Amino acid sequence: MTKGVTAPGARLRMREITLVILLVGVCLNRSLGAGVATQDESTQASTRSEYEIKSELIYHFIKFVEWPGHELVPPSALVVVGVVGDDCMFPVLKLALRDKTLYGHPIVVRRLDFGAGLKNCGVLFLGSSDRKELVRIVQMVGRSPVLTVGDNPQFCQWGGIIAFVRIGNRMQFAINPDAAARAGLQVSSRLLRLALVSRETRPRAGN
């Protein structure tokens, strides 16, 4: 069976249930059991778990977002998921999205530098926590149909579309509907109901 994103329909409710289960069940402070692991090993295991959780959520985000006219890329092209500012996230996300498709196009994960072909991505994950860098990238992408996902909890307030937010020991996410609309992306109401809705705190500079 082909692993991909299908048109909205009977499977959408099951996707919503899956996403709810994932969010409810996410716990960053997982027990490693038996007290055998050292402190360094425990930290590494916790970090890997967090990257895996975020990677799974990014794939769910893709399934609950529609790009303009479903014409994200030419028929023969790949859908690029760019990773900027977090080398550790790259291999985990690449593995999570392996063999996945969007509108029948294969998804490929690439490590990118600031300013290097960012507008050509369908999805852009920004691991940087620096406000100036994040704002600059958001402005650089402008109104291009790029789903920006930031690892900084204030990312949506700075013009990004989705931000990961840690609440206690659980991973949640915020969505900026205005930023999504500017990019021409339609976010499912089901996804919005599961998110923290965030607005920008100040007017953005022109694109």
Residue among 140, 34, 32, 47 at smallest CA distance from 89: 47
Residue among 173, 174, 164 at smallest CA distance from 198: 174
For the chain, the structural domain boundaries read 10-197
Q: Judge contact between 151 and 107, C-beta under 8 A.
A: no
Q: For the chain, which residues score pLDDT lower than 70?
A: 1-48, 69-76, 115-116, 202-207
pLDDT confidence of residue 47? 52
CA dihedral 33, 38, 44, 46 (to 10 degrees): 30
We find that the CATH architecture of domain 10-197 is 3-Layer(aba) Sandwich (3.40)
Q: Give Rg (Cα) of the chain.
A: 17
Only one residue has tokens 């007290």, namely: 35
pLDDT confidence of residue 170? 84
pLDDT confidence of residue 20? 42
pLDDT confidence of residue 17? 38
- For the chain, counts of helices (H) and of strands (E): 6, 10
